[in-house]
Structure 1
């Protein structure tokens, strides 16, 4: 398993944890939206490394958008859920190859 796949698994799991309806929102608000900044940085690093490895990552771009939209309560929850699914599916496909 290469570094890009590992980062997709990690960012997918983190997005999934942020998508937990009340717990994820409470965590984000209690940390003054710092988790969204951290996730933006993680998605950026994942995207850059995936481009270097010739494994483009649409999930990372979606994650970067989610980091900005994540501050809106219901829309943020939906975006975190979608991003987690996209990243985890992409990582699972890369793991099989």
Structure 2
């Protein structure tokens, strides 16, 4: 399902912004940790869509961990980086596997 891939790539963009050292921390503190709660819900929704489409779930799982432990300054930043990388790779692989499956169905 392409929706899970889109959600993963969009989520990786959010994680990229939150992983920028001064900017991400400022956004999180200025909004009273609301971005972490939003990202937690976002990753849970992405996990549900990925699970229902039988797609890999390791990207959203790393995102959930990053959102729950993200309030710790140094560790949170590194986890947001890890979530960014995992979600980006997971999203690209979701699109690649979907594209291969469509090509096989046509042939």
Q: TM-score, normalised by structure 2?
A: 0.87
Q: After TM superposition, where is structure 1 displaced by more than 3 Å over at least 4 residues in a row? A: none
CA distance in 1, matches of 2:60, 2:93: 15
Quick one: distance in 2 between partners of 1:48 and 1:93? 17
Q: For the aligned residues, what is the CA RMSD?
A: 1.0
Alignment deviations for residues 74-96 of structure 1 (CA, whole Å, 9 cap, x no partner): 00000000110000011112222
Q: Can you list the C-alpha shifts for 1:30-52, whole angstroms capped at 9, x where unaligned?
A: 00000000000000000001000
Structure 2: tracts of 5 or more residues without a match: 98-107
User: Which one is further off, 59-68 or 41-50?
Assistant: 59-68
Residue 50 of structure 2 corresponds to which residue in structure 1? 50
Residue-pair matches, total: 97
> Which stretch shifts more, 50-59 or 28-37?
50-59
Unaligned 5+ runs, structure 1: none
Which residue does 2:66 correspond to in 1?
Answer: 66
TM-score, normalization: structure 1? 0.95
Match of residue 82 from structure 2: 82
For the pair shown, the structure with the greater C-alpha radius of gyration is 2
Asked if residue 17 in structure 1 is aligned to residue 37 in structure 2, the reply is no
- 2:34 is matched with 34
- Helix, strand or coil: the match of 1:55? coil
Partners in 2 of 1:58 and 1:72 — Cα distance? Answer: 22
